[in-house]
Structure 1
């Protein structure tokens, strides 16, 4: 690896903490959200500020150590850690500063959406963020960033005003519409391919109480409810995001529709009435609630440490045939808790941004699909992954080639290319400019030079 002298010099040059495998706290420091990931880095640098990030980048480059970047550590692929390399851990860098007059907020790269919402909601403000508070703001935004407010305010990356980035050569750059504009374009959907993002500045919006909660139906109503949901959601106003999920939970299989209406409550009641009056739901918990309540609806489901397998896509045709195929598979092979097939509502403000205006190109999709399987016993891993793959195959004929990059696991280069879509070649050129050695490669990787062949999806 590196000599003791070099490591001691590194430790002395840090304001934050350095973890080695023999150090107390190392095992906790290498844990990430997905309990399926069990990697052992040679070094973990828990940075206290930008200076530590620059020091860590320079050290890794000079010692030829592979690098992983940890913000929230929420990637299902486990890219926040590595084996025998260096982890640049931003988890102590989580300050959030809100300017209520300008309606902006700047947060450090280790902040989570829980941290961000806590500060912005004190002023009645918010921006599109992840649907689980433990998700890191940086990783979500760099991949595009869908969330409950995405139909009204666009993706998280559409609300990004600027970002501070440490590049592979140790430079500190500001990326915005007026500085390093090409880099600013690339980090809005291009993932962590271009540097360590140490802070992000967002536009925030007035967000008071929302209409939020769930409608829960028995599984035997799933097909008719999903057909109604599809037609209703496609014409719903921007203020609505409604996600429909087939799930096997502790109380058995069901269909849940999770609602967030961000607008005037009285108007929201009218908009939601047709959906709430359709079928015979077992439960209807929709009510005026603080935005943070909606953001916490899935906190227990996505608690860190469970083992996860995900497969995702974007609907080409959310047809009756697609609904039949997905429900028939789920009903015929309902596993033990927890499994889900989530259909997330997109469109609205997302679709009014040009395909090439940011690196995130999947602007036309109205609904996405996410197959999730979570379990606790490692002995059940093979069976659970097999269920996830079979479930995805049932839906695959109705999906397009593209995929939301933040949902991609270890699926091979072809899948990474599909995630970046029509903007891939432009992202390659940007990679050539800012990271020609592919120093930042533990991600859904964009190689610095075009490849002559495209490997087949490995999952």
Structure 2
């Protein structure tokens, strides 16, 4: 049987076996199935399998192995950097698998591989429980957690991956395994930051924390007040409790606002009640606030609408001295507007720095992180947006630790990958890769190669 007829027969068999749907080039619905949030990404996979359950994932990986095709994994979220797809690859699309099961007695939650932060939060809020989640409600939980995970609850409870109890994984050999501290311990270690390069995470089990209240407010200021705002936010964070968090940001102001296109903002979040938040934010409230968004609207600022072009990067910082404050604000003043771009600066410390240091997550010791996140609609704006992201990185370079939160960047090459995982961890990660994926079937996430 020729290779084409073999592939055709195998595809027909996959269509028949799968509980979900299968799309190949030329099928109605193929272009919709391969679309991601980032309009810059235009990849053409060989097959997209929208899996209904873990058995479908096994069938799809086995299909890919039989045809010697690489596998890309699409979780529930954006696929902003395009690693959820691959030209000529078989895509395991988990978005139909978005169940969330809370065990309030054990204070754990089981999250399927296609669930988003919105799915997770809605399920946990009913019990007054929470686990650190992504700032964007549409972000996929599995990709976020396995890459480390940074958000508004980190300073209170640690990185999202710190609370991972176990992973249900389909390996490159199309085997279903359970991974935890006692079962496959080296693989469990690697999954703390190593991302989706070792297999398909069909479900995660995460610890939950009591969180009966959570408050947030986005305070908006005219851009000329930026240095005062940054210093006041820095003071609040450095003198306040670990339950206080948030971010500084420059953004395009609301349409028709009286304070112009460019706005300086301080998102203040507190793992507790609103009254305490306002007490802790007193230094910021003493400044001339030009506008304020309440809880729900404040968090929604970080949701990424589909169809925009996108590029993000990040640099970990040794601190936030006054010289860096001035540089950050000057870079904000040069941000492309009006666009969906965000010029972010957020604190770590607290439970992030106090967390386990054995995992391949060297960025946890950085007290601050700069995160330029460009979002724009017109392809004519590509050069301007890309140049600004590069300018931010070079501008803050004198204050960087050299570490990188890989969750927040695109494909920036092998050197940045090593910086994100820790140079000393790479050999160990490559040995794990060799043990579980020696043929590099899962090659689109983080790019760790088998030793």
TM norm. shorter chain > 0.5: yes
| Structure 1 position 282 matched with structure 2 position 295 | no
Q: What does residue range 215-226 of structure 1 map to in structure 2 within 5 Å?
A: 215-226=219-230
| Structure 1 position 364 matched with structure 2 position 372 | no
Deviation at residue 200 of structure 1 after TM alignment: 0.7
1:198 aligned partner: 202
| Structure 1 position 107 matched with structure 2 position 108 | no
| Structure 1 position 132 matched with structure 2 position 136 | yes
Asked if 1 retains the 8 angstrom alpha-carbon contact of 2:34 and 2:85, the reply is yes
* TM-superposition CA deviations, 1:414-437 (whole Å, max 9, x none): 111111014323212221221222
Distance of 2:362 and 2:314 partners within structure 1: 16
Asked if 2 retains the 8 angstrom alpha-carbon contact of 1:73 and 1:80, the reply is no
Asked if 1 retains the 8 angstrom alpha-carbon contact of 2:362 and 2:403, the reply is no
| Structure 1 position 404 matched with structure 2 position 405 | yes
Gaps of 5+ in 1: 450-459
* TM-superposition CA deviations, 1:164-187 (whole Å, max 9, x none): 011111121111122212211111
TM-score normalised by L of structure 2: 0.93
The structure 2 residue matched to 1:260, chosen from 243, 252, 269, is: 269
Greater shift in the superposed pair: 23-32 or 241-250: 241-250
| Structure 1 position 80 matched with structure 2 position 84 | yes
Aligned residues: 441
Distance of 1:122 and 1:46 partners within structure 2: 29
* TM-superposition CA deviations, 1:74-124 (whole Å, max 9, x none): 243111111121111000001111112221111110000111111111222
Asked if 1 retains the 8 angstrom alpha-carbon contact of 2:402 and 2:419, the reply is yes
Deviation at residue 295 of structure 1 after TM alignment: 4.5
Deviation at residue 294 of structure 1 after TM alignment: 5.7
* TM-superposition CA deviations, 1:110-147 (whole Å, max 9, x none): 00011111111122211100111110000000001111
Change (3 A) 1:75 1:395: farther
| Structure 1 position 184 matched with structure 2 position 193 | no
SS in 2 for 1:27: helix
TM-score normalised by L of structure 1: 0.91
* C-alpha RMSD of the superposition: 1.8
2:394 aligned partner: 393
Gaps of 5+ in 2: none
* TM-superposition CA deviations, 1:18-50 (whole Å, max 9, x none): 111111211111011211101111100010111
| Structure 1 position 347 matched with structure 2 position 349 | yes
SS in 2 for 1:33: coil
Distance of 1:101 and 1:342 partners within structure 2: 37
Distance of 2:22 and 2:289 partners within structure 1: 53
Change (3 A) 1:363 1:42: same
Deviation at residue 297 of structure 1 after TM alignment: 4.0
